[in-house]
Amino acid sequence: MSAPREWAGRRLGAVPGGADDGDGTFRVVGKAMPRVDAVAKVTGTTVYADDLSFPGTLHCVLLRSPRPHARIRSIDVQEAAGLPGVVAVLTGAAMPTRFGVSPSSEEEQALAADKVRYVGEPVAAVAARDEATAREACKMIHVDYELLEPVTSIDRALEVPMDEPIHASSRDSNIHRLAAVEFGDVEEGFAASDHVREDVFFYEGSNHLAMEEHSATAIFSDGQLTVWSSTQSPHSVHRALSSVVGLPMGHVRVVATPHGGGFGGKVDPCAHEIVVAKLAMITGRPVKCTLTREEVFYNHRGRHPVLMWVRTGVTRDGRIRAMHFRTALDGGAHGSLGAATTYYTGALQPATYDLPAYRFEGCRVFTNKAPCGPKRGHGTPQPRFALELHLDKLAEDLGMDPVELRRRNYVRPNSRTVNGLRITSCAIEKVTDEVLAASGYSRRERREGHGQGFAVSAYLCGAGTPMYLNRMPHSEVALKVDRGGVTVFCGATDIGQGSDSVLATLVAEELGLERSDVRLVTGDTGLTPVDLGSYSSRVTFMAGNAAIEAARKMRTTLAAAAAEHSGGRPAEMTVAGGRIGPLSFEEAVAAAEELYGTLGSVGSYAPPPGISTSKYRGSAVGPSPAFSFSAAVVDLDADRVSGEVRVNKVWIAHDIGRALNPVLVRGQVEGGVYMGLGEALMEAQAYRNGLLHHPSVLEYKTPLSSDMPEIEYLIVEQPDPEGPYGAKEVGQGPLLPVVPAVVSAIHDALGVWVDEVPVTPDKILRALDARARGNDPRTGPRAFPKIPYPPCEKVAIPDAATAAV
């Protein structure tokens, strides 16, 4: 396999205390290498979930609700059950146990039994000899609905429910979650400010549009249930399955198949995964269900539409004194991870800017729409969009350069934020410098309709708290080494981001092997130790550190055996180049097997306790063992007459700690920029009369290859003290600054603000028209609704002493 010949990006920054590729300290880490599964993927031999087939498989189709909000009076399945070829018909009555990805929101039923809450909610399922028969049978199921008034907007959800609330658990309202917390004294901060500004923004919801439609197959045999699924979190599916089908965890195995894209859309346990399991148990035959594209839009769990209000006080010289941030999230019909999403809309504002006082009030409402959940950036792209544009406007008010305003408020390395987040490594200054230098932002060309925009962001390297409260490790790795080779076992799931390649890289580096010497078994709850899943950019940091721990233990064992065998001391046994001391790796393994018997080692990772000091309602959301920082400049032309935007180029600098494999890093950075451009300019999971506006790949607009600008990426490597070889995340961060930078560039080009995304041409023209009429040159939400936030929980600013981390 040849190494990449084309390397468009740049890697920047010295690597103190270590070495970059070139001086030989690392043999595998930092090298540009293909993915471990690349050849299988380009030859079509990778077996994805829908490619699996077992003898005698039944095919399952879900009947979905055509009503957004209705009580189910009765379901008659008799006719469907009688159709030749139909083997089983299932309704919610058979699976009353409720579940949800988050224990705080376990309100879903795999098949709705009492009421439906959105168009597309599954109400019954058929298993038949083939998909066509199952689909035909679904049409023969008669559901008697008693219609209820649907709630389809944040405003309506805040009113007293017309008929009944969407969920009985939210009592007499449709408010799912409220958050209110204040760090320091915000009013005092405003009083001490020279200038205070308020803005309102809206960020539309969007779907992940992973190219692979979800699919799952279940087999039940000898009391053991096995489910293969295109999931990002086999552990979550494992827990939900066990609970709903009523089998002990030890009798359920979930295998995450190679994955055709996730982006957060496959984190939740899904109805079809549970339904195929139940049907396999009923029929005794393998049962498969693959969603159609339309069903994927209904399953959703995508980006929350968020309305935002922000008020900030600054001094004349641009120092922020206080910030008050309010969010209102349209959650759709279920909780999903939405409680966490709500807190995320307030958590990371202080991760880029040193806010002396900060108040956050958040609210998530239930609506009769497909459930929202986590999408790349989980709850942080929306407030990042609002915050960055708000700062641009503040800078304009002050007559100050927007970059300079930010710089005056940047967080510092090794500090503690106002909301108690521990910041360790932090290259926010460096990513700013790099992206400004590369783009020439400060001396950009001024011509009609041309503009550039700048923004920065921060993102977590894994959620510091697990999705359900426990004190066990977040990631566990086992290593099997014997005369048959080296195998890494880890529950982590490669969803295309390359986590398998990262694990192999780290273990190979530790054991002095080539990456191709390391075999992987991942994402299989029956075979691999627990990993919580591929979400919150956690896998490199957490599974990576667990793998390093396991490998170091093994290295110690092998070195001891090699020393024993060769008569030297363990410390003299250099582990490198396929050798351990004087022995080949294989000889050392044989020696160790002779001495110790079966060789195995384990490693695990849980975030250190010091990552957060503040305790308040919601404080579990935000803390992370490390933060990545990104900065972007977007260059575009915007047409004054048509409102059309052409993005010419995006520069993005990302503080990754260390690039473990530049090929993978590039993919994540460019993919994040692409998705950010999509959300800035096109993507919308929008509704009309309670129905999805665009449930197709054609009408849900995303940029095509011919729409994409050039991307120049700059990788800043300043190793993180706790990251694996200093590495930090890259899967989500680079999306964040792109969206506000696009809108900022449009303002730079045309002098108008579009305070909501996606920025479609008509919105730009509306803002230009407003200016022509002498009105506020802006398109965007006018007001923020009145929300019954509870009194703010007052949290003391963390002790200066805790800032020394």
Partner 1 sequence: MLRLRVNGETHETLAESSETLLEILRERLGLTGTKHGCEVGECGACTVLLDGAPVLACLVLPDQIEGAEVTTVEGLADGSALHPLQEAFVALGASQCGYCTAGMLLSAKALLDEQPDPTRDEIRAALAGNVCRCTGYASIVDAVAQAARTLQGAR
Partner 2 sequence: MLRLPRFSYLRPASLAEAVAMLADHGAQSSVIAGGTDLLPKMKRRQVQPAVLVGIAHLEALSHLETTASGAAEIGASRTLTSVLKDAGLAHHQPGYAQAAGLVSTPALRNTGTVGGNLCVDTRCNYYDMTEDWRTASGSCLKTGGELCRLASSSPRCWAISSSDTAPIAVALGATAVVAGPEGERDVPVASLYRDDGNAHLALGRGEILTRLRLPAPDGWRSSYVKLRRRSSMDFPLAGAAVALKIDRGVVEGCRLVLGAVASQPVELSDLVHGLVGQRLDEEAIEEVASGASRLAKPLDNADLSYVWRKRMVKEIVARAFRQAAMSEVAAVV
- Counting contacts by CB under 8 A, is residue 497 touching partner 1? yes
User: Which member of 158, 351, 673, 736 binds partner 1 (CB under 8 A)?
Assistant: 673
Least distance CB 496 / partner 1 (angstroms): 3
Residue given tokens 């690392």 in the structure block: 26
Give the count of residues interacting with partner 1 (CB under 8 A): 61
- CB nearer partner 1, residue 66 or residue 261: 261
- Counting contacts by CB under 8 A, is residue 211 touching partner 2? no
- Counting contacts by CB under 8 A, is residue 210 touching partner 1? yes
Work out whether strand 475-482 and strand 485-490 pair parallel, antiparallel, or are unpaired. antiparallel
- Counting contacts by CB under 8 A, is residue 648 touching partner 1? no
Write the DSSP assignment of 625-659 as a string of letters. S-EEEEEEEEEEEE-TTT--EEEEEEEEEEE-S--
Write the DSSP assignment of 228-292 as a string of letters. EE--S-HHHHHHHHHHHHT--GGGEEEEEPP-S--TTTTSS--HHHHHHHHHHHHHSS-EEEE--
Angle between helices 738-750 and 761-772 (to 10 degrees): 40
Least Cα distance to 238 among 524, 585, 587, 558 occurs for: 524
Least distance CB 1 / partner 1 (angstroms): 6
Only segment of 33-41, 237-245, 531-539, 603-611 that touches partner 1 (CB under 8 A): 33-41
- Counting contacts by CB under 8 A, is residue 703 touching partner 2? yes
Residue given tokens 């980006």 in the structure block: 303
Q: Give the footprint of partner 2 on residues 22-51 (CB under 8 A).
A: 50
- Counting contacts by CB under 8 A, is residue 64 touching partner 1? no
User: Which member of 496, 625, 733, 780 binds partner 1 (CB under 8 A)?
Assistant: 496
Distances (CA, A) of 29 to 32, 492, 611: 9, 19, 26
Q: In whole angstroms, give the CA distance from residue 249 to residue 254.
A: 10
- Counting contacts by CB under 8 A, is residue 39 touching partner 1? yes
The 3-state DSSP class for residue 553 equals helix
- Counting contacts by CB under 8 A, is residue 55 touching partner 1? no
| 45 interacts with, out of partner 1, partner 2, none, CB within 5 to 8 A per kind | partner 1
Enclosing H/E stretch for 558: helix 539-566
Least distance CB 135 / partner 1 (angstroms): 13
User: Which member of 328, 765, 767, 797 binds partner 2 (CB under 8 A)?
Assistant: 765
Q: In whole angstroms, give the CA distance from residue 505 to residue 684.
A: 38
Least distance CB 37 / partner 2 (angstroms): 24
Only segment of 168-176, 320-328, 552-560, 692-700 that touches partner 2 (CB under 8 A): 692-700
Strand partners, 604: 476
Give the count of residues interacting with partner 2 (CB under 8 A): 34
Q: In whole angstroms, give the CA distance from residue 371 to residue 379.
A: 14
Contacts of 268 (CB under 8 A, 6+ apart): 100, 101, 236, 301, 336, 337, 373
| 667 interacts with, out of partner 2, partner 1, none, CB within 5 to 8 A per kind | partner 1
- Counting contacts by CB under 8 A, is residue 772 touching partner 2? no
Q: Is the peptide bond before 758 cis (omega within 30 degrees of 0)?
A: yes
Q: In whole angstroms, give the CA distance from residue 299 to residue 214.
A: 9
- CB nearer partner 2, residue 65 or residue 465: 65
- Counting contacts by CB under 8 A, is residue 74 touching partner 1? no
- CB nearer partner 1, residue 524 or residue 712: 712
Least Cα distance to 181 among 323, 308, 359 occurs for: 359
Only segment of 75-83, 466-474, 491-499, 721-729 that touches partner 1 (CB under 8 A): 491-499
Q: Give the footprint of partner 1 on residues 271-310 (CB under 8 A).
A: 292-293
Least distance CB 711 / partner 1 (angstroms): 5
- Counting contacts by CB under 8 A, is residue 258 touching partner 2? no
> Would you give the binding string for partner 1 spanning residues 694-733, x where CB under 8 A is met?
--xxx---x-xxx-x-xx----------------------
CA angle centred on 650, ends 780 and 449, rounded to 5°: 55
Q: In whole angstroms, give the CA distance from residue 217 to residue 287.
A: 5
Q: Give the footprint of partner 2 on residues 627-656 (CB under 8 A).
A: 641-643
Q: Which tokens hold the place of 272?
A: 């079809």
Interface positions with partner 2 (CB under 8 A): 50, 64, 66-67, 119-120, 131-132, 213, 290, 292-294, 641-643, 682, 689, 691-693, 695-696, 698-699, 701, 703-704, 706-707, 760-762, 765
Interface positions with partner 1 (CB under 8 A): 1-6, 8, 34-35, 37-48, 50-51, 208-213, 258-263, 292-293, 495-498, 663-664, 666-667, 670-675, 696-698, 702, 704-706, 708, 710-711
